[in-house]
C-alpha cells in the first residue's frame, strides 16, 4: 500500500466497517504514526491488518497471466465526431 494510513482506514472501514474503530479513535490511536510513518505504532497496525493483505509481485504471477491480446480496429468517424475532434485540437492549440 503506497497511500497514507487514513486512506487505509477508509478502505478497511468500507470493507469491514468498524474493524479499525471509528475515524476519531483511529486517529487518536495512530496519531504518532500519521505524522511519523516510522513510528512503533505502525508495527501494531501492520499486525492488525496482516491477515487481510496478499502481496504478490508481477514476477510471481507472470506465469498465471494469459498472453496479451491486442486488436486493432479501424473505425470511421461521423461528420459530427470529426468536427468535435477538430474543435478539441484547435482549442488545445490556442491554449498553448
Q: What is the pLDDT along the chain (96 residues), one digit of tens a residue?
A: 456 888 999 999 999 999 999 999 998 888 877 777 777 888 888 899 999 888 778 888 888 888 889 999 999 999 999 999 999 999 888 876
pTM of the model: 0.53
Grid cell for residue 78: 461521423
Handedness of CA 85, 90, 95, 96 (dihedral sign): positive
Within 13 Å of residue 22, how many CA atoms lie on the same side as its CB? 2
Using CA atoms, how far apart are residues 94 and 3, in angstroms rounded to an integer?
37
Distance of CA 13 to the CA centre of its chain: 16
Say which DSSP state 65 is in.
S
Using CA atoms, how far apart are residues 92 and 94, in angstroms rounded to an integer?
5
Amino acid at each position: 500500500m503506497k497511500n497514507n494510513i487514513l486512506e487505509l482506514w477508509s478502505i478497511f472501514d468500507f470493507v469491514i466497517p468498524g474493524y479499525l474503530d471509528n475515524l476519531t479513535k483511529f486517529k487518536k490511536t495512530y496519531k504518532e504514526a500519521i505524522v511519523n510513518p516510522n513510528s512503533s505504532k505502525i508495527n501494531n497496525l501492520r499486525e492488525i491488518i496482516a491477515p487481510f493483505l496478499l502481496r504478490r509481485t508481477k514476477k510471481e504471477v507472470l506465469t498465471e497471466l494469459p498472453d496479451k491480446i491486442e486488436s486493432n480496429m479501424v473505425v470511421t468517424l461521423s461528420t459530427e465526431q470529426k468536427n468535435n475532434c477538430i474543435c478539441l485540437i484547435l482549442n488545445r492549440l490556442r491554449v498553448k
